[in-house]
Amino acid sequence: MVTIVPSLIIASLLGGAFVMTAVAPFIRRITKYVPSIVLLFNVLISLGLLLKSTNEPVVEFIGGWEPPYGINLVAGPMGSFLALIISLIAFLISLSFLKYEPTIEEVKFMILFMLSVLGASGLVLTGDIFNLFVFLELMTISAYALVAYGRGGEGAEAGFKYLLAGSVAANFYLISVILIYASLGSLNMADLVTRMTMLKHGVALASMLFLVIGFATESELFPLHGWAPDVYTGAPPSIAALVSGVLVSASLYVLARFFYTVFAELNTLRSEMFAMLMLLGVLTVLFGETVALVQRDYRRMLGYSSIGAAGIILIGLISEILYAFIGALLLIVAHGFAKVPLFMMSKHLEEKYGTRDMEKVKGAFKANPKLAIPLVAGSLTILGMPPFLGFWGKLLLIYGLALKYPIIALIILLASIVEAAYYLRMLHRLVIQDGELKKQIKIDTVELVTYYAFLALLIILGILPMLLSPYLAGAFIELSNPSFYIKVAMGVMGG
Amino acid sequence: MKKLKYVYKIAALAIAVLLGYMLLQALMEIPFGTNRMFVAERFIFEEPYEVGAANTVTAIVVNYRGFDTLGEVTVLFIAATGVALLLHRERGIRLAPTETTLVVKTGARVLLPAVLLVGLYIFVHGHLTPGGGFPGGVIVASALILMYFAYEEYVAPRSMLHLLEGIAGLVFVIVGILGIIVYGRFLQNVFPLGDFGRLFSAGFIPVVYVAIGAKVGSELAGIIHDMIRRGGESE
Amino acid sequence: MSDLGTLYYINVVAMVVIGLYIVLTKRNVLKILIGLDILGTGVNLLIVVIGYIEGGTAPIYTAGISPAKFVDPLPQALVLTAIVIDAAVLAMAISIAIRLYKEFGTLDVRKMRLLKW
């Protein structure tokens, strides 16, 4: 029986990682191809899942135990869309590994990279709240090591901060899971939706609070963002991009999933959670974009810009407005894609000039148009300029919000202007301004391919956003309509 | 400056206490010691027929929620890999080498097979008695600590440990994929359930637990090795 | 509610509060990690405690014990996972601490200021 099942994503990544471990001491050269092959396979699998998701979504009962007894992987429109984006970003990043002639440490680095992606993919696919905890830990623990692998003291320091924030957050989430299990005796999301009404008020409040604190930390929301700027500065550039584009988006998804699905029947609690998340979102946008304005360090600026973006995406995701929701999903894609080349640029800066201070590297990319193009295009995507995908994201998000929450829409508009100010200033410094730096930066072809692939995707999707629209609308239906999700997750719909 | 620190500490305490209070409020609404099982009822009463393991916890850990356990094994794998990644810069320096006497050395050699056997026993019988792959693996790994204590020149066969680690992990994944091939579902049991309470029973549980035991053992041994020898790779 | 239950619950809450306080205020890397472990152990204790049933026995089929008396086996399975994850985090944390000591020559987080705290 050959069918596409979501667990193939998990199994292939795990199998790849184990094969790499086993053979690395003996035949090291072939290991560098494993991540790209496995992740390409995952892109295809998740594409298949996404294509099926609107008509007959695939749900898999792991071990053959139906919910609520076993763990189910639900490839609804939302889950499979995010899984596709995650696999795609990871695949394109993994292409840049091909330039290694890997040492044993680099093999380990690649293994951890794959496992972090595995955690993120599992996080968006699983339908079980404890399994979600396991995938959260998979995703973050491998990220701690990857971040701490960053150069010198900065990497270790950032890794340690991330580890502290991340483990406390995960423990908080676990408390929330246990409170729910202790009251209801079940761990399956779809099964919990209807049982939730039996939850006593104190338990419901505490579990919501611990959940929000935990995942607000993971998704770098103000005032729990403390780890994020340092991680973006200290981590290896590809990992900074992974955290910004994949890990944070997956955590934001979890907040949305609990808000829309698990807590769907608890009206008062839900409005409290809505107010909390909206407030966190607005504060995060304001904080991130303002602080980014005063940064001189290239990567720190990108980091604060990522924090601001997380706020914007969160607002869109939980707004319960179709357009804003679709805009937020498009922004996840646009932001995730664009931040990879942007973060990778800092690697070239550091390797060539040993600094990330934008004042000291004026005109660094002027003599390097091959690198300047992705830098400019990535920045324009983040700013929401056509013809890139970011344009549709911001447009729909602000338009949707303006219908119901005009003030928040205005705030986001203002934040976008601030964003434009510092991105254009950065471009002016690095690309336009004349400096003494006229050196050519040596680049690998593989890396260029990575950058331009992201660029091509952003432009194609920017011109043809309707390619995605049925799935984005499907995702909105899945979230705003819990009974649809229950039907999918219990296997009533499709296979 | 000093005053600021004081304020910070008070604020931290206030936050911690506030969260603790919220938790306590919630816990007071959950009666202690009463039966609230819903999902678990089936695990207890149907498990002998569905999974066939005398130890219900094992049935849940490996079969009903085997996916969690796969993740859990992977978390340990990540830890082993991550420790090796982070400590690679300091190669081959033995930390705190200690001179040991003949008594310790002989004792270690005598105890080594016994410790390995106990570990093996525990993970092979995981579906029948308390224990299983994780405790068994830890005991196996402790044999390595014993060797490190007794012999200062001892070096673990790191490459072999990696090979064992990888293969054991692959066994688990392959057992899972067999489920996909036969039933279209990951980790579905394709092995016969056997006689309840016997060693060869409970479907894939013994297979998976031996793999987990080998994996946990080799991973923890690897972590110990990396921390003591600081990444001395025997390439 | 039995007194035993209250005692356990207070114990759990106390461990969570103490762990959190240590993580937030201590300045030594190893002390922070001890705090993190106390927090984690508190949560694990909570998982075990909520599975207990008055007068229950270990959920293993043995001659002469009725399965109706078993305690809830699911939290025991969950706590196994949680404990292993805690151990993994700790191993990772300690190796990062070793790196930190190598780079900075100290375990005092106030002296690690390459990045702004």
Total CB pairs under 8 A between chain B and C: 149
Most confident by average pLDDT, A53-62, B90-99, B223-232: A53-62
CA–CA min distance C74, chain A (Å): 9
In the predicted structure, residue B193 carries a pLDDT above the cut 80:
no
Q: Between chains, do A63 and B169 touch, taking CB under 8 Å as contact?
A: no
Q: Between chains, do B54 and C5 touch, taking CB under 8 Å as contact?
A: no
Is C8 within 8 Å of C45 (Cβ atoms)? Answer: yes
Is B59 within 8 Å of B51 (Cβ atoms)? Answer: yes
Q: How far apart are CA A265 and CA A482, in angstroms?
A: 9
Q: How far apart are CA C104 and CA C23, in angstroms?
A: 20
Is A244 within 8 Å of A155 (Cβ atoms)? Answer: no
The candidate with the shortest Cα–Cα distance to A442, out of A373, A375, A379, A370, is A370
**A481 strand-pairing partners:** none
Interface test with B, best of A3, A14, A26, A30 (most B CBs within 10 A): A14
Q: Reduce the DSSP state of residue A297 to 3 states and report it.
A: strand
Q: How far apart are CA C5 and CA A182, in angstroms?
A: 14
Chain centroid to CA A121: 10
Q: How far apart are CA B93 and CA B199, in angstroms?
A: 44
Interface test with B, best of C11, C21, C49 (most B CBs within 10 A): C21
What lies within 8 Å, CB to CB, of A389 at 6+ separation is: A330, A333, A334, A337, A381, A457, A458, A459, A461, A462, A465
Candidates C14, C70, C92; nearest CB to B79: C92
Residue of B nearest to C10 (CA): B24
Interface test with C, best of A69, A128, A138, A160 (most C CBs within 10 A): A160
Number of helical (H) and strand (E) elements in chain B, helices listed first: 8, 0
Q: Per the structure, how many domains does chain A have?
A: 1
Tell me, yes or no, whether B78 lies in a domain: yes
Token representation of residue A20: 């790499």
CA–CA min distance C34, chain B (Å): 16
Candidates B34, B48, B87; nearest CB to C98: B87
First and final CA of chain A: distance in angstroms?
A: 13
Burial A123-140 (b: 16+ CB within 10 A, else e): bbbbbbbbbbbbbbbbbb
In chain A, residues 69-128 whose CB comes closer than 8 Å to chain B? 69-71, 73, 104-105, 108-109, 111-112, 115, 118, 122
3-state secondary structure C74-102: HHHHHHHHHHHHHHHHHHHHHHHHHHHHH
Candidates B158, B188, B233; nearest CB to A64: B188
Domain interval for residue B123: 54-229
The candidate with the shortest Cα–Cα distance to B153, out of B230, B233, B229, is B229
Tell me, yes or no, whether B67 lies in a domain: yes
Token representation of residue A306: 């990522």
Q: Between chains, do C13 and B27 touch, taking CB under 8 Å as contact?
A: yes
Is A308 within 8 Å of A403 (Cβ atoms)? Answer: no
> B166 contacts in A (CB within 8 Å)?
18-23
In the predicted structure, residue B190 carries a pLDDT above the cut 80:
no
Q: Between chains, do B185 and A71 touch, taking CB under 8 Å as contact?
A: no
Q: Reduce the DSSP state of residue B175 to 3 states and report it.
A: helix
Low-confidence stretches of chain A (pLDDT < 70) are 1-2, 435-439, 493-495
- For residue B90, what pLDDT is reported? 57
Q: How far apart are CA A304 and CA B200, in angstroms?
A: 57
Q: Where are the alpha helices (DSSP H) in A225-366?
A: 228-234, 237-242, 248-257, 267-293, 298-318, 322-353
Q: Between chains, do C85 and A234 touch, taking CB under 8 Å as contact?
A: no
Per CATH, domain C3-111 is 1.10.287.3510: yes
**A72 strand-pairing partners:** A61
- For residue B94, what pLDDT is reported? 66
Q: Per the structure, how many domains does chain B have?
A: 1
- For residue A315, what pLDDT is reported? 93
CA–CA min distance B103, chain C (Å): 31
Total CB pairs under 8 A between chain A and C: 89
Q: Reduce the DSSP state of residue A350 to 3 states and report it.
A: helix
> B79 contacts in C (CB within 8 Å)?
87-89, 91-92
Tell me, yes or no, whether B160 lies in a domain: yes
3-state secondary structure A143-179: HHHHHHCCCHHHHHHHHHHHHHHHHHHHHHHHHHHHH
Is B228 within 8 Å of B148 (Cβ atoms)? Answer: yes
Chain centroid to CA C4: 20
Q: How far apart are CA B201 and CA A206, in angstroms?
A: 43
The candidate with the shortest Cα–Cα distance to B47, out of B68, B32, B66, B63, is B63
Tell me, yes or no, whether A494 lies in a domain: no
Q: Which chains touch A (3 or more CB pairs under 8 A)?
A: B, C
C15 — pLDDT class (breaks 50, 70, 90): very high
Tell me, yes or no, whether B98 lies in a domain: yes
- Alpha carbon separation from A229 to A234, B124, C115 (Å, rounded): 9, 47, 9
B89 — pLDDT class (breaks 50, 70, 90): low
> CA angle, B3 as apex, B1 and B7 as ends, to 5°?
115
Q: Between chains, do C93 and A163 touch, taking CB under 8 Å as contact?
A: yes
Q: Between chains, do C53 and B34 touch, taking CB under 8 Å as contact?
A: yes
Reply yes or no: is the peptide bond before residue A223 cis, omega within 30 of 0: yes
Q: How far apart are CA A482 and CA A194, in angstroms?
A: 10
H/E stretch holding B37: none
- Determine the residue type at B36: R
What's the mean pLDDT in C12-24?
A: 93
> C2 contacts in B (CB within 8 Å)?
32-33
In chain B, residues 109-168 whose CB comes closer than 8 Å to chain A? 158-159, 162-163, 165-167
Q: How far apart are CA A194 and CA A446, in angstroms?
A: 51
Q: How far apart are CA A173 and CA A257, in angstroms?
A: 14
Is C90 within 8 Å of B78 (Cβ atoms)? Answer: no
